[in-house]
Amino acid sequence: MTAQDGTGLTRIVHAVRELELGERTSYSAGCLTVGEQSARELLAHPALAEVRLACAAPGDSARIVGVLDAVQPCSKGPDGGGVFPGLLGPAMPVGRGETHILRGAAVLAAGYLPRAQEAVIDMSGPAAPLSPLAATHNLVVEFTPADDASWEDVDAALRRGLVKVAAHLAEAALEAEPDAVEELPEPGSSSNGKPRVAVVTNLQTQGKFKDVFVYGRSLSGGLPTVITPGELDDGAVVSGQFGHPALKNPTYLHQTHPVVAALRASDELELAALVLCPEPVDQANKELVSAHAARLCAGLGVDAAILSKEGGGNADADVTLKMDRLEEEGIAAVGILGEMAGRDGTGPPLVVAPTKATAMISTGNYDERMTLPACERGLGRERVALLDQPSTDEIVLPTAAIYCVQSTLGWGRLTCAETA
């Protein structure tokens, strides 16, 4: 089946090579102009006293501090049905038809929210290769909360505002000649003899400021669910999780899910299913969700699964328990995990290790320190809270503070190995 048959997604790609603020939103030949007034109106909310807009491009001497979520602009056109279902569009299944995306652009919010940690992006210098959002042209939304607003309302206003702006920006490209048109068939039951691989994506579900939304709802308290990968492209999964910046999976990385992309590109393996799982906070529910996810995968007839997590040490268990249950079902399990091996890299790399499964990919050591050079421009927050230093200073930070560097959705090249 192909996407044209109605069981897949046609991704219409518009590349963004330049981003600027202007009077009117427009897109032409790789240049995206953000109409300031329109963007402000879309972000306006009683919980926000003020929003400020700035652009940050790859190579700029700029540091963004306190990054919250980041979103890739996308639109299904005026008549194409809503993107970001449950938040912007109606909460009904998406992932079919056509979706326009602005590749190389992102809308991101940066500033203080409770429980949000440092989350630093350097747009140039040695840390630039460590964040996927250092390679995108970013519209950075800074904000001042209204005096009487609750933090929950500020968070919700930002989330809604970001996706509105993201959809608005992509609408400017609907009539433009695309740079690429990509057909993304839905996984079917036949694989032409190729091994079938499930992508098992754990979503953080730890309450306020540490939750991820699927069709606008938290998976907290629920069981694993199967969606089509195309639903990610349309923004069915939106992040509201701001802890553990290095291990964060922002909306942008769900929309561009690197493991899904790698399997789509594989000649030898078949992308068979996408399974979303909550990450409960207690052991009994971790075990239930893990056993259930393994049964789902067995029912889907997959030969292997690639697993990812979001969050710190306790989320190791959500991956490693599932790996063990999958292996028991006869399904080969590969987990992508960040290491927490201490500053000198000599500690145990995992908090909870698998007992049966063994195959793991490392996204680097969370605790290793690195020095970020001084830069000209600071966005998001004026100071790096962890160090209480101005955002533009030379700073020494644990890898843990760099936005998405260890994301186990697997975009990055960072890994860890024995010191020679």
Partner 1 sequence: MRIVHYVNQFFAGVGGEDAAGTGPELRDGATGPGRKLASLLGDEHEIIATAVCGDDYAAGNPEFAAELVAGARERGAEMLIAGPAFTSGRYGMACARIAAAACEAGLPALAAMHPDNPGLGEAAGTSVVESGLTARQMKDSLERFAAAASKIAGGEELTAQDGRIGPVARSNRFAQHSAAQRAVALVLTRLGGDRDATEIPLPDFDQVTPAAPIGDPAETVFALVTEGGFVPAGNPDRLESARASKWVRHSLEGLDSAQAGSFESVHGGFSTQWANADPNRILPLDVARELERDGAIGRLHGEYLGTTGNGTTVADARRFGVEWAAELRQANIQAVILTAT
Question: In whole angstroms, what is the distance from residue 402 CA to residue 271 CA?
Answer: 30
Q: Is 250 in the site for partner 1 (CB under 8 A)?
A: no
Q: Is 206 in the site for partner 1 (CB under 8 A)?
A: yes
Give the H/E segment covering residue 272.
Answer: strand 270-279
- Nearest in space to 42 (alpha carbons), one of 185, 157, 171: 157
Q: How many residues bind partner 1 (CB under 8 A)?
A: 73
Task: Return the residue of 174, 226, 288, 353 that touches partner 1, per CB under 8 A.
Answer: 353
Q: Is 337 in the site for partner 1 (CB under 8 A)?
A: yes
Give the H/E segment covering residue 335.
Answer: strand 332-339
**Residue the block writes with tokens 């036949």:** 190
Q: Which of residues 88-117 bind partner 1 (CB under 8 A)?
A: 114-115, 117
| 189 versus 346: smaller Cβ distance to partner 1 | 346
Report H helices in 172-248. Answer: 229-233
- Nearest in space to 217 (alpha carbons), one of 200, 238, 231, 197: 238
Q: Which of residues 380-409 bind partner 1 (CB under 8 A)?
A: 398-400, 408-409
Q: Which of residues 179-198 bind partner 1 (CB under 8 A)?
A: 195, 197
DSSP for residue 289: H
Question: In whole angstroms, what is the distance from residue 287 CA to residue 321 CA?
Answer: 7
**Is the distance from CB of 377 to CB of 121 less than 8 angstroms?**
no
Q: Is 297 in the site for partner 1 (CB under 8 A)?
A: no
Tokens of 230: 């195309």
Task: Return the residue of 366, 379, 397, 404 that touches partner 1, per CB under 8 A.
Answer: 366
Task: Return the residue of 137, 160, 244, 325 that touches partner 1, per CB under 8 A.
Answer: 244
231 vs 11, 119, 216, 336, 381, CA distance in Å? Answer: 12, 27, 13, 22, 33
Task: Return the residue of 109, 140, 212, 341 that touches partner 1, per CB under 8 A.
Answer: 341
| 36 versus 303: smaller Cβ distance to partner 1 | 303
Task: Return the residue of 3, 94, 107, 336 that touches partner 1, per CB under 8 A.
Answer: 336
- Nearest in space to 327 (alpha carbons), one of 362, 276, 277, 291: 291
Q: Is 368 in the site for partner 1 (CB under 8 A)?
A: yes
Pairing of β 389-390 and β 74-75 = unpaired
Exposed e or buried b for every residue in 327-338, given b needs 16+ CB within 10 A?
A: bebebbbbbbbb
Task: Return the residue of 31, 49, 135, 262 that touches partner 1, per CB under 8 A.
Answer: 262
Q: Is 303 in the site for partner 1 (CB under 8 A)?
A: yes
Minimum distance, C-beta of residue 375 to partner 1, in the bound complex (Å): 21
Q: Which residues pair with 33 in a beta bridge?
A: 20, 26
Tokens of 238: 């939106």
| 93 versus 342: smaller Cβ distance to partner 1 | 342
Q: Is 209 in the site for partner 1 (CB under 8 A)?
A: yes
Task: Return the residue of 219, 306, 317, 397 that touches partner 1, per CB under 8 A.
Answer: 306
| 19 versus 337: smaller Cβ distance to partner 1 | 337
Q: Is 30 in the site for partner 1 (CB under 8 A)?
A: no
Q: Is 154 in the site for partner 1 (CB under 8 A)?
A: no
| 173 versus 263: smaller Cβ distance to partner 1 | 263
Among 17-25, 86-94, 169-177, 356-364, the segment contacting partner 1 (CB under 8 A): 356-364
What is the signed CA dihedral for 21, 27, 28, 32, rounded to 10 degrees? Answer: 40
Minimum distance, C-beta of residue 348 to partner 1, in the bound complex (Å): 3
Question: In whole angstroms, what is the distance from residue 414 CA to residue 132 CA?
Answer: 12
Minimum distance, C-beta of residue 90 to partner 1, in the bound complex (Å): 30
